[in-house]
Amino acid sequence: MKIYLILAVIVFCSACNNKESDNGNSKHINTLKAFDYFHFGNTLSQTIKIRNFDTTTLRGKADKLLFDLKDNDDYSYVIINGTDTLIDMNGDGQADLLIEYYGASGTGLKNGAEIIFFNTSTKRFMPENPIALSNPTFYFTTNTVVSYYIGNGGGYANKFKWNGYMLDTLEHIDIDIQSSSGNFLMTSVIHDYTTGNVSTVTSNKVRLPAEYKYFDYKPIVRIE
């Protein structure tokens, strides 16, 4: 009988302590309610780490998004190997998330840029509608972008103009490269969508119009 009485007292005291603890936690959470919390544990040590993001700021929203997407097959390589910044990419006055990285495989230059826009109406980033560009150069004064990829057998180049969260194609270049017995021939078929003209240019070396800055890629995110 004494044993049961002691157990009852212990249970009652524990309940009181939990209630006081709950009240204390409630006050603590209220002071940090603007933060999102993520708990992840090490199954070997059973230790729990806590990471929080201040999602009242754009940087906090971006960091949370990067954390959420790092295990996504479409983004994992870009996020793990890239560098990012917040910058207005399409000229609408709203900073977006730009991730720059270098591709892991393939021939030719593999500088890559991934753009995730921030929608001012929904107040969220839109990872479901990214813009991916290879070896891009951004011309912010004209709101245009050029991009290209050239491998051993050929490639392509494009000139775009921003149209909201999309890119309108102003120019497309189909590139074919033939190389045999020491002879090299690059054939470029240029489609100018502003005029409707199509022209062909041949060269004995890799060459693009100057605005594409072939082999002169300049990243926006500087790594010191």
Give per-residue pLDDT as tens, 70-106: 988 889 999 999 999 999 999 999 999 999 999 998 8
Decide which of 102, 119, 134 is a domain's last residue: 134
Q: How confident is the model at residue 2 (pLDDT cuts 50, 70, 90)?
A: very low
Containing domain of residue 157, as a range? 137-214
Please count the structural domains in the chain: 2
CA distances from 6 to 3, 16, 189 (A): 5, 16, 90
8-state DSSP, 92: S
pTM of the model: 0.77
State mean pLDDT over 115-119. Answer: 98
Q: How far apart are CA 158 and CA 145, in angstroms?
A: 8
Examine residue 2 and state whether it is found in any structural domain, yes or no: no
pLDDT tens sequence across 44-61: 444 555 678 999 999 999
Q: What is the DSSP letter of 110?
A: -
The set of residues, in sequence order, having a beta carbon less than 8 Å from that of 21 and lying 6+ positions away, is: none
| 26 inside domain | no
36 has a pLDDT exceeding 70: no
Of 118, 134, 150, the last residue of a domain is 134
